[in-house]
Amino acid sequence: MEGDSVKLLGFWGSPAVLRVKWALAVKGIEYQYVEEDLSNKSDMLLKYNPVYKKVPVLVHQGKPLAESLLILEYIDETWKQNPLLPHSPYERAQARFWSKFVDDKCMPTVVAAFSKVGEEQQKAAEEARENLKRLEVGLEGKRFFGGDNIGFVDIAIGWLPYWIGIAEEVVAINLIDAESMPKLNSWFHAFIDIPIIKELLPPRHKLLPHTKAFLQA
């Protein structure tokens, strides 16, 4: 489908950018991708996102949008094919809840689990596992968070187990396994096996040193 003047400013290793790439791919939207150097941000990025000065930024017909979850909703409302959010208002609210839960609760504790040391690290790892375990509630009786097919939540949080697996290679801490989180583990493998999802993942060999540098910063 024609991109209708769609541009995405991003960074190859950003989970937030990956969300947007996945959503555009599921919708079948063509777009121009602009890779940003985050150590030397372009005038274009500063122009389109003067408040946060970060990626991703989606530019549609000259109008910029920032913040990945908001961009996902915009994409879903603008291009109706292959809907990401469910029809039911309650289920839509639940999808937003779980997506925000990952950003607000899971992400900080996961990062802390891999970046802290000693007792602080163990405490963060325990909290991260508890938060990840809570995610399984959203998968009750379903293959994907979106049901039989992937939806908003799957795209919003699908990057998390991939990054955790890479971080586990950097720091000897295990957060997700088939025994303690069977539903989450099965969901992730089913999600990552979808060709349109797999082909957009950052290369593992490239992401590993990037993640190591991020955690040790």
Q: Measure the CA–CA gap between 62 and 81, rounded to whole angstroms.
A: 22
Verify cis geometry, omega within 30 degrees of 0, for the bond prior to 56: yes
pTM: 0.95
In the predicted structure, residue 3 carries a pLDDT above the cut 90: no
DSSP H or E run through 34: strand 32-35
Q: What is the pLDDT of residues 13-26, one digit of tens each?
A: 999 999 999 999 99
Amino acid at 44: M
Please state, for a pLDDT cut of 90, what percent of the chain lies above it.
92
Backbone angle region of 155, left / alpha / beta, with phi > 0 → left and psi within -120 to 50 → alpha: alpha
Beta bridge partners of 8: 33, 58
Model pLDDT, residue 69: 98
The mean pLDDT value for 4-19 works out to 95
Q: Where are the domains of the chain?
A: 6-78, 89-216
Q: pLDDT class for 215, splitting at 50, 70, 90?
A: confident
Model pLDDT, residue 1: 44
CATH superfamily of 6-78: Glutaredoxin (3.40.30.10)
Model pLDDT, residue 2: 44
CB atoms within 10 A of CB 10: 21
Choosing among 2.60.40.10, 3.40.980.10, 3.30.2130.10, 1.20.1050.10, the CATH entry for 89-216 is 1.20.1050.10
Amino acid at 205: H
- Using CA atoms of 160, 57, 71, 52 in order, give the dihedral in degrees to the nearest 10: 80
What mean pLDDT value characterizes the chain?
A: 95
Q: What is the pLDDT of residues 62-73, one digit of tens each?
A: 999 999 999 999
In the predicted structure, residue 151 carries a pLDDT above the cut 80: yes
Q: pLDDT class for 217, splitting at 50, 70, 90?
A: confident
* Three-state SS at 201: coil
